[in-house]
Amino acid sequence: MAGAARDALLQLERRHQWATSSHRSLLNDSPSLRPQVMAAMVRGYPDAKREAVKETRLDDHNFPAECPFSPEQALDQDFLPD
C-alpha cells in the first residue's frame, strides 16, 4: 500500500474509532452477526474508498481495489497496517 494512502487510511480510522467500538460491542452482544461482517465490508468498501479519495484528495489508484483488512483487523482498535 502506498505511503500516502496508508497515512490517509490511518487518519480516517482515527476519525471513526467510535464506529469500531460500537460495532465490536454489537458483535460481542450478537455473535451470530459475525459471518455477515465480511460481506458488509466487501459491499461497503467501494463507498468507503470513494469517500477516502474525496476526503484525502488522493488519486483512486493510491487505494487498494479491495479492502486489505480482515474483519478482525478492522475491529481491532490496536491494529495498525504495515
Residue 55 belongs to a domain:
yes
The pLDDT value recorded for residue 28 is: 79
* Cα separation values, 58 from 12, 35, 62, 81, Å: 13, 32, 7, 19
75 neighbors 16 (Cβ within 8 angstroms): no
Q: Which domain holds residue 11?
A: 3-75
Q: What is the pLDDT along the chain (82 residues), one digit of tens a residue?
A: 567 777 777 776 666 565 667 777 777 788 788 778 878 888 999 999 999 899 889 999 999 999 988 888 887 878 888 7
Number of structural domains (the chain) is: 1
Residue 47 belongs to a domain:
yes
The pLDDT value recorded for residue 63 is: 92
Residue 58 belongs to a domain:
yes
Residue 4 neighbours by CB distance under 10 Å:
13
Residue 12 belongs to a domain:
yes
The pLDDT value recorded for residue 7 is: 76
